[in-house]
Amino acid sequence: MKNSTAALALTTLAFAASSIFAADNVVIGLITKTDTNPFFVKMKEGAELEAHKQRVKVISAAGKTDGDNAGQITAMENMVAAGVKTILITPSDAKAIIPAIRKAQEKGVMVIALDSPTDPVSAVDGLFATDNYKAGVLIGQYAKAALNGKTPVIATLDLFPGHPVGAQRHNGFLQGFGLQSQGAKSNDLAKPAEVVCMADSFGDAAKGQTGMENCLQKNPAINLVYTINEPAAAGAYKALKAAGKEKDVMIVSVDGGCDGIRDVGAGIIAATAQQYPLKMASLGVIAGVKYANSGQKVSGYTDTGVTLVSAKPLPGVYSLDVKTGTALCWGKR
């Protein structure tokens, strides 16, 4: 638990605690998986923008890396001790975080998951997130149309085993392509015969590059790559370019961030499913303010939307163009 990120969270929260008790302000906690991934940077920005509108305060913390459950638990415990009454969290470990969530709830804290569900989803008071299975379906449908009857030889650069977001996007992609898959509620990764290589990228560019290099060594005939997010896609492209295969292999992804949409325009990514983290965070802050003022908790799942973006529109597959996708990247609408 003791890492530099957790230490920084402790310092920040100690200062925040004195402010809460002195001014009796509404303070909302935000805990993301990391503080470096652009997706979570945008989420934090969305929370702070909405907090400014609502005249409340947001304090934030993050895990050291995607998968750092211990860092998130430490941050949650510190926020509860500081007197925060609502915590917004993107859980790194959908199951292991649940005891910490329950402890917070027992002390009157409302906990809302953003982007990533817990397992079970009902462990939190509410969830504001993309329909990740649908996001996968959209890019799978696009990939199938783009290959136009060509036999797929697929590599998947996944998140890591057991995480709902990684499973839903992966399985949705296979479903959209029309291959054997798992249902939307499964946390197991389907592997039909067309998937010749699977690698865990942890949503990281460097790990995505390594995963792609390993997959190319395993099967040089790969012609389609699914990636969990756009940093992993950028890493995959680096590996493909180094191998002289960047023009022969299609990459599809999920996120729809500004950098990712630029990569779509540049031909690095064929299509991406755009999600809206700014909206997730904004809705979370609004719910936190309502709870502070009225005691009314949010409940259930709120779909924050997902839209396909591509540079090359295909018959029968609806997508936004790059210009529109850029205007909307990560929640400008």
| Identity of residue 100 | A
The pLDDT score that the predictor gives to residue 17 is 40
Sequence ranges of the domains in the chain: 4-129+277-298, 132-274+308-328
List the chain pLDDT tens, one digit each, 333 residues.
334 444 444 434 443 443 333 334 899 999 999 988 889 998 999 999 999 999 999 999 999 888 899 999 999 999 999 999 999 999 999 999 999 999 999 999 999 999 999 999 999 999 999 999 999 999 999 999 999 999 999 999 999 888 899 999 999 999 999 999 999 999 999 999 999 999 999 999 999 999 999 999 999 999 999 999 999 999 999 999 999 999 999 999 999 999 999 999 999 999 999 999 999 999 999 999 999 999 999 999 999 999 999 999 999 999 999 999 999 998 764
What is the CATH code for 132-274+308-328?
3.40.50.2300
In three-state form (DSSP H/G/I as H, E/B as E, the rest C), the secondary structure along the chain is CCCHHHHHHHHHHHHHHHHHHHHCCCEEEEEECCCCCHHHHHHHHHHHHHHHHHCCEEEEEECCCCCCHHHHHHHHHHHHHHCCCEEEECCCCCCCCHHHHHHHHHCCCEEEEECCCCCCHHHCCEEEECCHHHHHHHHHHHHHHHHCCCCCCEEEEECCCCCHHHHHHHHHHHHHHCCCCCCCCCCCCCCCCCEEEEEECCCCHHHHHHHHHHHHHHCCCCCEEEECCHHHHHHHHHHHHHCCCCCCCEEEEEECCHHHHHHHHCCCCCEEEECCHHHHHHHHHHHHHHHHHHCCCCCEEEECCCEEEECCCECCECCECHHHHHHHCCCCC
Can 4-129+277-298 and 132-274+308-328 be said to share one CATH topology? yes
Structure tokens at 268: 């690095």
The pLDDT score that the predictor gives to residue 6 is 43
The domain defined by 4-129+277-298 folds into Rossmann fold (3.40.50)
Euclidean distance between CA atoms 299 and 287, whole angstroms: 10
The pLDDT score that the predictor gives to residue 13 is 44
Please, what is the end-to-end C-alpha distance for the chain in angstroms? 38
How many angstroms separate the Cα of 208 from the Cα of each of 97, 166, 235, 237? Answer: 26, 14, 5, 9
Contact 187, 160 (CB under 8 A): no
pTM for this prediction: 0.84
